[in-house]
Amino acid sequence: MKKNIFLAVVFLVLGFSLFAAGTNEKQIDIYYSASLNGNLDGCECKSNPRSGLVKRAVYLRNIDKNSSVILETGDIFDVYPDELLSDYILKSYLELGYDAIAVGDQEFSNGISYLLERIIKYPFLGNNLSIKTENGNLVSVSKKPLIISKKGVDVAVLSIIDPEVFRFYPVDITESIEIMNPSNFISLFLSSPETKKADLRLLLFHGSLENVRQIALKNPSLDIIIAGHEQQTVDGEMIGNTILVSPGGEGNMLGHLKVVSDGKELIFDNSFIKFDYMTDSDDPLIRERINEYTKKMTEKLKK
């Protein structure tokens, strides 16, 4: 499926709504985020400003969930163990309508047992990742790709984690997981009947940009790759037939990818919504959670 860069320019000039007014076109909005790093709240720190989920939530609550797909590439937890904070983040992501949360390496910060319990309750996706239970059984995080249907548009989503992200992790983690070869899973994904019937083939990739660019070159039938982990911003880079995007780090930006398809080619418009801790409004419910978290942690420290 060819992506025409020239038409993408025309698309921007004429306007998205005008192009999509035809009878055969299908359109969908894809919102994506990455590397929250535990920032339920933000910080005005000059060296490392963070807006916090408390700001992003205001925007996400107001989008049309019926015609939008909302995805996360992973590392939503802090690098340090904090089950209480992680639970507040997961509850918030569920309320905000995330269709999938890719499992990143930081999702293991609270240990194997914690993650295994939450995978059942929340929309985690990790197709090439299996985790060992206490009795030694391997549990696949996601046995099948996710098919998301919104207003007549079917999006096939695969989540892949790069084995390299665990290079410096302790043995108690690395010996408790099994990561299948990414290339094998992507090949199976692209050849499956469900994926072939979908309007869009989308890969959530948690790993290095260098590796994901190689994946894009080897798999031209991938339409979209959303990358996370390295916390770099990639604004609609075309790699052959595939568009690569990444929203950077600390959860400060939300990516917005508008896609139009006429069944023969896709036209994209990518943009970023940037949030500011000092000027953007708080989401009241998440601010309440932050206050609860602060109160509980204060009481814990006193004890």
- Residue 100: give its domain's CATH number: 3.60.21.10
Can you tell me the distance from the alpha carbon of 98 to that of 107, in angstroms, rounded to the nearest whole number?
Answer: 16
Low-confidence residues of the chain, pLDDT below 50? 1-22
Can you tell me the distance from the alpha carbon of 236 to that of 10, in angstroms, rounded to the nearest whole number?
Answer: 16
Give pLDDT, residue 162.
97
Q: Which domain holds residue 104?
A: 2-302
Give pLDDT, residue 5.
43
Give pLDDT, residue 16.
42
Give pLDDT, residue 263.
72
Give pLDDT, residue 11.
42
Considering the entire predicted model, what is its pTM?
A: 0.92
Count of domains forming the chain: 1
